[in-house]
Structure 1
Amino acid sequence: MQQLNLITDKTKEEIAIEFIRKHEPPEGYYLGFSGGKDSVVMYDLTLKSGAKFEAHYSATGIDPPELVQFIRDEYPSVTWHRPMMKMPRKFPEWKGTRSFFEMLQVKGYPSRRSRWCCDQLKKNPPKNVPLKNYLLGMRAEESNARALRPNPDYFKKRREWIYKPIFDWLEWEIWEYIESNNLPYCSLYDEGFDRLGCVVCPFICHGVRGKLKMSMKRWPKIYAAFEKAMKKLFDNYLCVVNPRSGATNYRRETNFEEFLDNWYWGK
């Protein structure tokens, strides 16, 4: 049972629903849906609010197959998109939609400081969807960087508003809401995977040996494809250009095993 806010005398559920209603644009919201626990709660709260919205899922190609199947089975109304990669002008032969593994050869490997994959695969909205007001299941508890962002959040360059109705919710409150409302959730949570997303995400892999081993054991084919792409990158390039700063980072490793191991542990 949710606790009452001592100032507003309302539960977090009631506050979130009011937030959604208050900011509802005439054309409706774009609800970013990933299939994770926070998205499940956001979807349900938005339904309860009665606000107009469209739920969209970015099919990255490297999400856990179990998560993909969960979205197919439990949320058939969600619209799927295959992200269109933005290619640098110096690579005209790479026009069109490309996979994450192909993009490694152009963008270099992703890291905590250079997460081009998030922008390319998840954050860039489909151009054929005109909605500019986004509902996201972001929570301040997840990282210090997220906690410092305002809510709502305006991105001037893209002319987009980001609304985060569950921004101040804690993880246990998310699970309490799911349980009390009998909402479906991906079975991977019951197997010990506390965060669901791209299988080879630097934020999941780097420095957490237990999580990495568990992921590699569960999805060996995805890791095999990733390591094959990394080997090609290692063999073909002496350096990697940072997509954000434009700086050239020269490879310091002398063999592929060292190169790959350093990536896995965030070195």
Structure 2
Amino acid sequence: MQQLNLMIGQTKEEIALDFIREHEPEEGYFLGFSGGKDSVVLYSLTVKSGVKFKAYYSLMPDPPELIKFIRKYYPNVIIIKPERNIYQQVETRFPPHRKSRWCCDYIKEKPSTKVPLTYRLLGIRAEESNNRKKQGWINKRTKKRINLHPIFDWLEWEIWDYIDQNKLPYCSLYDEGFSRLGCVICPLRSTKEREHYKVKFPAQHRLFEKACLRWWDKKGFHRHRTRGDVYFFNEFMANWYIGK
């Protein structure tokens, strides 16, 4: 449908606006807002469409600049929190890693399930990854959760072009060379990104490492010597930062 609309002369903005209006539920939309460039565009389009919606931001170990940006320019966004913060959860579970990324489900997904809105607008784009490309324009997760992706076919340059044309504010971290924002301790980041984030956001990483050490001690591991196949805590953290 979207390709056909492009063939008959509709712009991607017009297609997105029609898509949002076409699927508007009576109770209104849940708009997932992260504060990133895609969320900024999605929020603007949703306002333009005139539909009923509420925007929600899941609080996580995000850059302080991002949180300040959201509070300054998007004061109407509702902040939702998990029952326990990520550092408390690390201590009782284990540090998240590539093969067991429980953190996103706990911090982002679980708290949002308490919001009784079925139709959810998300700023997912096919260009970002193969996994996101597979989700399509509409992803029916469950009967009580249907995700819609109005900017699914937008390219990154089109996102920035829309931001420039509409004079939308965006987080200053993009101007510092950050291509993607979000959780500063995300285990899926590349080694280079992790090193960059650790230098840029030392406070969050200190809290994370302290939580990891408390978990390590509770498991009965010795922080200064090996026990069987268990290595030193410092070695464990060094391996975590390079994705092992």
> Share of identical aligned residues, percent?
52
**Structure 1 residues 212 and 180: CA distance shift in structure 2, 3 A:** same
Structure 2 unaligned spans of 5+: 222-227
Matched residue count: 235
Counterpart of 1:255 in structure 2: which amino acid?
Answer: F
Q: 1:218 aligns to what? A: 200
1:111 equivalent among 77, 85, 97: 97
Map 1:1-267 onto structure 2 (within 5 A): 6-60=6-60, 62-83=61-82, 97-126=83-112, 129-156=115-142, 159-204=144-189, 207-209=190-192, 211-237=193-219, 252-267=229-244
Conserved in 1, the CA contact under 8 Å of 2:95 and 2:212? yes
In structure 2, the residue corresponding to 1:202 is in which secondary structure?
coil
Deviations 1:83-124 (A, max 9, x none): 2xxxxxxxxxxxxx2110110123311122322111111122
Q: CA deviation at 1:14?
A: 0.7
Conserved in 2, the CA contact under 8 Å of 1:107 and 1:116? no
Q: CA deviation at 1:126?
A: 4.0
TM-score, length basis structure 1: 0.83
Q: CA deviation at 1:6?
A: 4.6
Computed over aligned residues only, the root mean square deviation of the Cα atoms, in angstroms, reads 1.9
Hey, what's the Cα distance between the residues in 2 that align with 1:143 and 1:57? Answer: 22
Conserved in 2, the CA contact under 8 Å of 1:40 and 1:185? yes
Hey, what's the Cα distance between the residues in 1 that align with 2:229 and 2:37? Answer: 39
Q: 1:242 aligns to what? A: none
Which contiguous aligned blocks of 4+ residues in structure 1 show a shift greater than 3 angstroms? 125-128
TM-score, length basis structure 2: 0.90
Counterpart of 2:72 in structure 1: which amino acid?
Answer: D
Hey, what's the Cα distance between the residues in 2 that align with 1:182 and 1:5? Answer: 26
Larger proportion of helix:
2
Hey, what's the Cα distance between the residues in 2 that align with 1:112 and 1:128? Answer: 27
Conserved in 2, the CA contact under 8 Å of 1:110 and 1:117? yes
Structure 1 unaligned spans of 5+: 84-96, 240-250
Hey, what's the Cα distance between the residues in 1 that align with 2:72 and 2:88? Answer: 29
Q: CA deviation at 1:215?
A: 1.4
Q: CA deviation at 1:176?
A: 0.8
Counterpart of 1:237 in structure 2: which amino acid?
Answer: K
Hey, what's the Cα distance between the residues in 2 that align with 1:234 and 1:129? Answer: 35
Conserved in 1, the CA contact under 8 Å of 2:5 and 2:15? no
